[in-house]
Chains A and B, each alone.
Chain A
Amino acid sequence: NAGVIQTPRHKVTGKGQEATLWCEPISGHSAVFWYRQTIVQGLEFLTYFRNQAPIDDSGMPKERFSAQMPNQSHSTLKIQSTQPQDSAVYLCASRTGGEQYFGPGTRLTVL
């Protein structure tokens, strides 16, 4: 069990470019979550899928962020027209039962 896998581990983009972050949940886990972590805001929920269906995207900035889960083995978080304030560590987690397991995160730096 490799745990939750996230790629890339680090990504640097220029302002206005697009960033796509990938997550492979633990096999058999039906729920996938995206969070982001910054020094100022701490850990914030972004969006959540259950059995690949979007359930709650209440934490997603509406205009430039989107997430998909095309199959049970991966989810993507896409940020269009990245801005410096999008710089953060983006965390993916998967869950079976009650406990969430987190991946190592993708550190996004927007210059």
Chain B
Amino acid sequence: GQQVQQSPASLVLQEGENAELQCNFSSTATRLQWFYQHPGGRLVSLFYNPSGTKHTGRLTSTTVTNERRSSLHISSSQTTDSGTYFCAMNNNAGAKLTFGGGTRLTVRP
């Protein structure tokens, strides 16, 4: 089945630093989403980005479809960015999302 690998598994930053989160997947993605989850909170969709680059605020998602990878860049991190970031994708074999293991981000003041 399809696999999704995220790196790093955890990351600690000082407030103001930038972060680059990586996602690699085993098959060509037809749908790709990045999610954020605060501890105990719901999964919040950050980007639906099966290809190309999208921006919102301090976040940028870039997906290179033919290289089976996506990245999430967080600029000028804030303590409120702390939480877990998940990448999830599906291919044309089905609609279900397969999730990576997540990157746990901690931003210290």
* Chain A residues with a Cβ under 8 A of chain B: 31, 33, 35, 42-45, 48, 50, 55-56, 58-59, 91, 93, 95, 98-105
Contacts and interface: CB of A to CB of B under 8 A. Distances in A.
Nearest to A42: B101
Contacts of B96: 33, 45, 48, 56, 58-59
Contacts of A99: 31, 33, 45, 48
10 contacts: A33-B97, A43-B88, A48-B96, A55-B95, A59-B96, A99-B48, A101-B45, A102-B43, A102-B45, A104-B41
A15 B86 CA distance: 32
Interface of B: 31, 33, 35, 41-45, 48, 50, 86, 88, 94-99, 101-102
A16 B19 CA distance: 46
B43 A56 contact: no
A93 B31 CA distance: 15
Contacts of A100: 33, 45, 97
Contacts of A43: 86, 88, 99
Closest 6 CB pairs of A and B: A43-B99, A99-B48, A45-B96, A102-B43, A104-B42, A98-B31
A27 to B, nearest CB: 18
Given A98-B31, A98-B50, A99-B48, A45 B97 contact: yes
Given A102-B43, A104-B42, A105-B42, A45 B33 contact: no
A45 B97 CA distance: 7
Pick from B41, B44, B45, B95 the residue with the most CB of A within 10 Å: B95
A101 B95 CA distance: 14
